[in-house]
Amino acid sequence: MELSLLGLGSLMTIIVIAQVISRYGLNHSLFWSEELARYLLVWLTFLGATVAYFRGMHPGVDVIYRRLSPENKRYLRIISHLLCLILFLVMIWQGTQFSYFVRLQITPALNLPKWTIFSIIPISGLIFMLHGFAFIWRELFTGEHRHE
Amino acid sequence: AFTMKLGVVTKPGSAQNIVAEKFKELVEQRSNGALSVKIFHSASLGNETEILQQIQLGTIQLGIITSGPFDSFDPIVRVIDYPFLFKDSQQADEILDGPLGQEILTSLESSGFKGLCFSENGFRNLTNSRKPVNSPNDIDGLKIRVMSSALHKAIWQALGANPTPMPWPIYTELEQGVIDGQENPLWVMEVYKFYEIQKHMTLTRHVYSAHIDVASLNWWNSLDSDTQELLQKSMYDAAKFQRADNRAKNAQRLEMLKQKGMKVVETPDIGALREKVSSLKEIELFSDPKVQSLLTRTLEATR
Amino acid sequence: MSEFGLLILLAVLFLINVPIACSIGIVSIIAIAIKGDFSMMVVIQRMFGGTDSFHLMAVPLFMYAGLLMEKGGISRRIIDFANALVGWLPGGLAAVAIVSAMLFAGISGSAAADTAAVGALLIPAMKRSGYDSDFAAAVQASGGSIGVIIPPSIPMIIFGFLTGASIGKLFAAGIIPGIIIGLSLIIIASILSHRNGYKAAVPFSLSRIFHSFFKSLLALGTPLLILGGILFGIFTATESAAAAVLYSLIIGGFVHRELKFSDLKPIFIEGSIIAAIVMFIIATASVFSWLAAIEDIPSLVAGGLLQISDNPIILLILINLILLIAGTFVETTAALILLVPMIVALQPQLGIDLIHLGVIIVTNLAIGMLTPPMGICLIVSGAISGDSISAISRRILPFLMILIVDLLLITFYPPLTMFLSSLVGN
Ligand code: NA
Ligand code: NA
């Protein structure tokens, strides 16, 4: 997963640099570069967000949480993961529906089927959900948790 | 009272907004307040493609959308954007208000849109910061910002330019010289103040930019026929009002742009430009039989 | 459920430590489910549409650039130069921390990155020289907030993305306010250090200044590359970020020879994750702001404010207050997406330029990064120094006060922002 971020991020950087060089060096603007780089950014966003969730890096407001007993902290973490599942399930369910909804549309510059681009949302929703289940499982049955 | 939601991407004062506001006025007046229209402008709901998707989803009911974004839903709209298709506004009206235009509107139903009628951005013209453009030779190598559309890219490549896709707004990029020029109808040059940063304009009139005024088909079918008729008539009247308004203002706009210091080439060598793009009707984009058939008949009718 | 009920729910989710991005997404989903007349698919469309932007590509690119500069020895040279420049002042290291943060701000688009990059070296150094740990953290946090005012700036990029304002002009407009804020922070830091008996770090030496200046010349060239490239029309803001990545690769890898090929992998991965955290907030907040738009909330709020007063000065003060309060509780990106449409709806009554308004908003949110509970600079700084947020918050009060003075100056004296931005493109 982290390797995919390396690939997406470096490819995006290279494309933007290539566009500048091509525009000045060759006086020929790459027509596909802007669109492709944008979609790489979207993929990077959603995949990167799942990695950040796995690592517990998404910022929250912890003023109350910090003052709780370890036991109460554990309850709050479980509640938080359960609530997040609402978002993840909508990403999976509605994301699949939306990908189907745009199945006939193509992207303007690259002529790619749009559903392939949009599918990153249900895919990342699924990854989010699996992480979420794993967190809850550990909290409930093994007593471990990855992060404070 | 039922409030229908109408989406446009541009800001108040723009061509789309004039149609929208006139439509709102007519509907509310003719229905004696039984129907009302809420306009969402300035891309507050998303870009034009996203507004169209929201119409398909029934989240909003209506939209005044330029023809370009329909391209990814139904290739038949490409015919309108064919370069140097219409000689003048009267011919554009004849075709688009006639059976050929109706064919496009009807075709949109398979994508979930009820096509009501056409209003206009107007004929697109070229501006640039480098040199006066009279003939295709002058276009050679100019970095022209074009919309992210395969057809517009093909047109400008055929004309010899270096078409550069760039997201709107582009004022700063023009000002800084990241791109040399852009192409848009006259009202855009006025509303977005391109006269401050672009020295040269040529009335190329290379593409007639239409709006397609659409409703959500599911929603439309749920209305009784009186309401349908009222809405259809109001949209058509709003569109006719806006087209006349836009054309009436174009003369003043041209004067204003000249006064602001733009050098305008009013009669470029259209024949030579047209010649450059003559092979476009054979390209892949028009290869769909339905599209090719409509294009052939429209070229026939406008000859 | 009323809009008010939804806001309460959002506050509850925030307070029980549900990630901000998820909280906003969950509340939006519940609102759509309750309303019942919108397809839930619009959640997906807005999450996608909110992140599908050429302008926002600058977010990860500036993250990569910042990390590359740190690894490539560029930040260390900047700190050496700052040390020679202001290390001789009373409480020299505190001034060094702020000047380094100002210089690093010219490279980094994020206040958290600025605080972390400079603080990692300077907070331990201050503690070793006998500074109170919580004071050292407070100094570094306040300096780091300049990271979003001196360009490049991620919040300015997001503001430009939301309003269509020129990002190049916003960048230029931030330079003078950033310098003023930096200088005012140095004055406060020096006074407080003097009172606490902290000594100068190094004696004043012109040759040291010149020596370190030449060693850091290439490092200091980065901000010039970014701004110059935009000002002279060589590239767009996004492209300038890519150019900064390339430049820092070359300087760090071939000139300083401190950046190894094996460093690239962790840099691109970590940079992508940090960018994704910001972008994911943009994704879910875009759903929320779509809902707000379709319910017409921005113009209702703007109308409500106009009921209080239509005097531009009072309105600007009200806006500053709302932003300061929002910045206290809400993360910067979320605050921008939620509040900018409402504030921009008031622009005609305010009678000020959109660029000026953008800088006012970003400055407010920069101050919000220094206020608990949601103050990213406090969090980063505290993580480095090992102090609690509340301990640092006490020591940061004098800095906050001078920042509010700066904010009023920036708000009511437009030339500070408009002078440089009016030069862009001419
Ligand atoms: Na910065
Ligand atoms: Na805060």
Assign 3-class secondary structure to B77-89.
HHHCCCCCCCCCH
pLDDT tens-digit series, residues B177-214: 888 999 999 999 988 889 989 999 999 999 999 999 99
pLDDT tens-digit series, residues B24-78: 999 999 999 999 999 998 888 999 999 999 999 999 999 999 998 998 899 999 9
> Cα distance from A142 to chain C (closest Cα, Å)?
22
HSE-up of C399 (CA within 13 Å, CB side)? 36
Q: How far apart are CA C257 and CA C71, in angstroms?
A: 10
- Quickly count: other Cβ atoms within 10 Å of residue B283's Cβ: 12
Question: CA nearest A107 in B: which residue?
Answer: B72
Tokens of C408: 């009023």
pLDDT tens-digit series, residues A2-32: 899 999 999 999 999 998 888 877 777 788 8
Q: Are B129 and B197 in contact (CB under 8 A)?
A: yes
Q: Are A108 and B71 in contact (CB under 8 A)?
A: yes
CB distance C164–B169 less than 8 Å? Answer: yes
Q: How far apart are CA B59 and CA B56, in angstroms?
A: 8
Query: Chains touching chain A at 3 or more Cβ pairs under 8 angstroms?
Result: B, C
Phi, psi of B7 (to 5 degrees): -110, 135
Q: How far is the CA of C132 from the centre of ligand 1 (A)?
A: 28
**pTM here?**
0.90
Residue found by looking up tokens 């951005």 in the block: B121
Does residue B47 belong to the interface with chain C, where contact is any CB pair within 8 Å?
Answer: yes
Q: Are A27 and C47 in contact (CB under 8 A)?
A: no
Report, as an integer, the average pLDDT of C182-186.
96
Question: CA nearest B140 in A: which residue?
Answer: A27
Q: How far apart are CA A115 and CA A85, in angstroms?
A: 23
Report, as an integer, the average pLDDT of C112-122.
87
Q: Which of C25-29, C52-56, C209-213, C311-315 has the highest mean pLDDT?
A: C25-29
Tokens of C85: 């420049």
Question: CA nearest A103 in B: which residue?
Answer: B73
Nearest to C13 by CA among A82, A95, A88: A82
Q: Give percent of chain B with pLDDT exceeding 90.
A: 85
SS (H, E, C) chain A: CHHHHHHHHHHHHHHHHHHHHHHHHCCCCCCCHHHHHHHHHHHHHHHHHHHHHHCCCCCCCCCCHHHCCHHHHHHHHHHHHHHHHHHHHHHHHHHHHHHHHCCCCECCCCCCEHHHHHCHHHHHHHHHHHHHHHHHHHHHHHCCCCCC
Q: How far is the CA of C283 from the centre of ligand 1 (A)?
A: 23
Q: Are B52 and B65 in contact (CB under 8 A)?
A: yes
Q: Which of residues 40-59 of C touch B (CB under 8 A)?
A: 41-42, 45-46, 49, 53-55
Q: How far apart are CA B11 and CA C333, in angstroms?
A: 25
Which residue has better confidence, B107 or C35? B107
Q: How far is the CA of C373 from the centre of ligand 2 (A)?
A: 6
Alpha-carbon separation of residue B146 from B54, B143, B150 (angstroms): 25, 9, 10
Tokens of B53: 């998707």
Chain B residues lying within 8 Å of A106, measured CB to CB: 72
Q: Which of C45, C242, C372 sits opposite A16 (nearest CB)?
A: C242
Q: Give residue B98's pLDDT.
A: 97
Does residue C164 belong to the interface with chain B, where contact is any CB pair within 8 Å?
Answer: yes
Q: Which of A30-39, B189-198, C171-180, C224-233 has the highest mean pLDDT?
A: C171-180
pLDDT at C426 over 60: no
pLDDT at C164 over 90: no
DSSP string, chain B: -EEEEEE-SSPTTSHHHHHHHHHHHHHHHHTTTSEEEEEE-TTSS--HHHHHHHHHHTSS-EEEEESGGGGGT-GGGGGTT-TT--SSHHHHHHHHHSHHHHHHHHHGGGGTEEEEEEEEEEE-EEEESS----SHHHHTT-EEEE-S-HHHHHHHHHTT-EEEE-PSP-HHHHHHTSSSEEEE-HHHHHHTTGGGT--EEE----SEEEEEEEEEHHHHHTS-HHHHHHHHHHHHHHHHHHHHHHHHHHHHHHHHHHHTT-EEESS--HHHHHHHTGGGGGSGGG-SHHHHHHHHHHHHHH-
Q: Which of C12-26, C104-118, C240-254 has the least mean pLDDT?
A: C104-118
Report the Cα C64 to chain-centroid distance in Å: 16
CB distance A27–B143 less than 8 Å? Answer: yes
CB distance A104–B164 less than 8 Å? Answer: no
> Cα distance from A48 to chain C (closest Cα, Å)?
5
> Cα distance from A77 to chain C (closest Cα, Å)?
8
pLDDT tens-digit series, residues C262-273: 999 999 999 999
Q: How far is the CA of C353 from the centre of ligand 2 (A)?
A: 26
Tokens of C84: 């020679």
pLDDT at C237 over 80: no
pLDDT at B6 over 50: yes
Phi, psi of B122 (to 5 degrees): 110, 180
Q: Which of B45, B173, B197 sits opposite C293 (nearest CB)?
A: B45
Tokens of B290: 């339905």
pLDDT tens-digit series, residues B226-265: 999 999 999 999 999 999 999 999 999 999 999 999 999 9
Tokens of B100: 């050929």
Nearest to B181 by CA among B141, B221, B222, B218: B141
Q: How far apart are CA B273 and CA B206, in angstroms?
A: 9
> Cα distance from B111 to chain A (closest Cα, Å)?
9
Which residue has better confidence, C328 or C95? C95
H helices within C330-373, ranges in order? 332-345, 347-350, 354-368
Radius of gyration of chain B (CA): 19
Q: How far apart are CA B250 and CA B74, in angstroms?
A: 31
Q: Which of B45, B168, B169 sits opposite C294 (nearest CB)?
A: B45
Q: How far apart are CA C242 and CA C61, in angstroms?
A: 6
Chain B residues lying within 8 Å of C293, measured CB to CB: 40, 44-45
Chain C residues lying within 8 Å of A101, measured CB to CB: 41
CB distance B143–A29 less than 8 Å? Answer: yes
DSSP state of C148: G
Ligand number, closest to the Cα atom of C107: 1
Q: Give residue B184's pLDDT.
A: 96
CB distance A44–C15 less than 8 Å? Answer: no
Query: What is the overall mean pLDDT for chain A?
Result: 91
Query: Chains touching chain B at 3 or more Cβ pairs under 8 angstroms?
Result: A, C
Ligand number, closest to the Cα atom of C332: 2
pLDDT tens-digit series, residues C276-308: 998 999 899 899 989 988 988 888 888 888 899
> Cα distance from C239 to chain B (closest Cα, Å)?
11
pLDDT tens-digit series, residues B138-163: 999 899 999 878 899 999 999 999 99
- Quickly count: other Cβ atoms within 10 Å of residue B271's Cβ: 10
Q: How far is the CA of C155 from the centre of ligand 1 (A)?
A: 10
pLDDT at A146 over 60: no
Q: How far apart are CA A129 and CA A50, in angstroms?
A: 9
Tokens of C296: 């017409």
Q: Which of residues 72-101 of A touch C (CB under 8 A)?
A: 76-77, 79-80, 83-84, 86-87, 90-91, 94-95, 97-98, 101
Q: How far apart are CA C145 and CA C181, in angstroms?
A: 10
Q: Are B101 and B95 in contact (CB under 8 A)?
A: yes
Q: How far apart are CA B116 and CA B119, in angstroms?
A: 10
Q: How far apart are CA C381 and CA C372, in angstroms?
A: 13
pLDDT at A125 over 90: yes
**Pairs across A and B, CB distance < 8 A:** 44
Does residue C341 belong to the interface with chain B, where contact is any CB pair within 8 Å?
Answer: yes
pLDDT at C99 over 50: yes
Q: Buried b / exposed e across B190-206, counting CB within 10 Å, b at 16+?
A: bbbebbebbebbbbbbb
CB distance B173–C236 less than 8 Å? Answer: yes
Nearest to B164 by CA among A103, A26, C417, C177: A26
pLDDT tens-digit series, residues A101-113: 999 898 888 889 9
Radius of gyration of chain A (CA): 20
Q: Are C402 and C188 in contact (CB under 8 A)?
A: yes
Give me the amino acid identity at B285: L
Q: How far apart are CA B54 and CA C38, in angstroms?
A: 9
For chain C, how many helices (H) and strands (E)? 22, 0
Name the band, by pLDDT with cuts 50, 70 and 90, for residue B8. Answer: very high
Question: CA nearest A32 in B: which residue?
Answer: B165
Name the band, by pLDDT with cuts 50, 70 and 90, for residue C376. Answer: confident
User: Any idea where the domains of chain C sit in the sequence?
Assistant: 55-421
pLDDT at C337 over 60: yes
> Cα distance from A49 to chain B (closest Cα, Å)?
23
Top residue of A22, A28, A31 to mutate, by most chain B CBs within 10 Å, is: A31
Name the band, by pLDDT with cuts 50, 70 and 90, for residue A1. Answer: confident
Q: Are B179 and B144 in contact (CB under 8 A)?
A: yes
Nearest to C401 by CA among C361, C371, C360, C377: C371
Q: How far apart are CA C221 and CA C65, in angstroms?
A: 13
Report, as an integer, the average pLDDT of C133-153.
94
